[in-house]
Structure 1
Amino acid sequence: MQRRIFIQTLAAGAAAALALGRAQAAPAAAIEVFKTLTCGCCEGWVEHLRANGFAVTVRNVDDTGPYRARAGIPERFGSCHTGMIAGYGIEGHVPAADIRRLLAARPAAAGLAVPGMTVGSPGMEQGSRKDPFDVFLIRRDGAASVFASYNKRGA
């Protein structure tokens, strides 16, 4: 009986070590970020992505609008930077966890957006102030639905 438990424990440990090795060997998701040279909050968002395991390439551009349009994100969902990852557009201060959830689910969509520059969103931290905001899933026809909500009272 003890021998069987020992073998089962040994096998479980080996399986866990193998899984951990695979997780550590997984390459970081690569995202390309288009932003203006002078935008500090964009740098804050880039650091948020890097801290959450993304491999970020930053491209300083004069105008992010053409990149937003290329990603299929309507102007009404615009913010100060646009990311491109795995065929999706990521507009504004979208939390890294939502990008990972998008990549795992692979919906038929243009991407995610956090319109404007909401205080308390990644890269827009200002002390303890955290304004409510939504992350929108943008469909290819330009329509949107709420993908995630943050800092809502009672939520």
Structure 2
Amino acid sequence: MKPSRFLAYATLIIVVAGGAIWYIINDYYDTKAARQSQKADIVMYKNEGCQCCDKWAYYMQGKGYSVKTVTSRVLSQVKAEQEIPQNMGACHTALIGDYVVEGHVPVEDVKRLLREQPDAKGIVVPGMPASSPGMNTALNEPFKVYLLKNDGSTELFAQH
């Protein structure tokens, strides 16, 4: 092969490889910027050090949701802003779309809430039921999920 032809081929390979590398790097940073600008699916407010809240967040992440955790020193203020009745409170308060999700709510109930889009504030699992997602300290201990209506009243949404 003549040296001039070899140089032409080598130059062509370098240009094509350089273009491919530039495209890959450029696409990586564009995709990274887009991911960082997206909002989390769920914003969860919790007390510092609450491990069951973290377990619920990991559970929801395992089901395909992105969760942003916000540690709050005044969680009662978050609950008051979301108009969660005191008898319906739990250890964390999450915001998902236009709804509030209070406590250890199973993913199937969150999906149902988002699918049906009831005219309500959200859904709640009061307290910390032992067999609820994130708690998982007892098997088959029944618990209830309530629909929190706009007027502050509740009705049964699901039973587990």
Query: What TM-score results when the alignment is normalised by the length of structure 1?
Result: 0.75
CA deviations 1:8-50 (Å, max 9, x no partner) are xxxxxxxxxxxxxxxxxxx997010000111110011001110
- Calculate the aligned-residue CA RMSD, in Å: 1.6
| Partner SS state of residue 145, structure 1 | strand
Matching residue of 1:118 = 129
Q: Which has the larger radius of gyration?
A: 2
Q: Which runs of 5+ in 2 are unaligned?
A: 1-37
1:58 paired with 2:69, answer yes
Q: Which runs of 5+ in 1 are unaligned?
A: 1-26, 151-155
* Structure 1 pair 131–71 and aligned structure 2 pair: CA distance change class (3 A): same
Matching residue of 1:46 = 57
Task: Kindly provide the amino acid, as one letter, of the partner of residue 33 in structure 1.
Answer: M
Matching residue of 1:32 = 43
More helix per residue: 1 or 2?
Answer: 2
The equivalent position to 2:139 in structure 1, one of 112, 121, 129, is: 129
Identity of aligned residues (%): 37
Q: How many residues align?
A: 123
How far apart are residue 114 of structure 1 and its match? Answer: 0.3
Matching residue of 2:92 = 81
The equivalent position to 2:156 in structure 1, one of 137, 143, 146, is: 146
Task: Kindly provide the amino acid, as one letter, of the partner of residue 62 in structure 2.
Answer: A
> How many angstroms apart in 2 are the aligned matches of 1:79 and 1:107?
22
| Partner SS state of residue 110, structure 1 | strand
Does the aligned pair in 1 maintain the 2:42–2:94 contact within 8 Å? Answer: yes
Query: What TM-score results when the alignment is normalised by the length of structure 2?
Result: 0.73
Does the aligned pair in 2 maintain the 1:68–1:89 contact within 8 Å? Answer: no
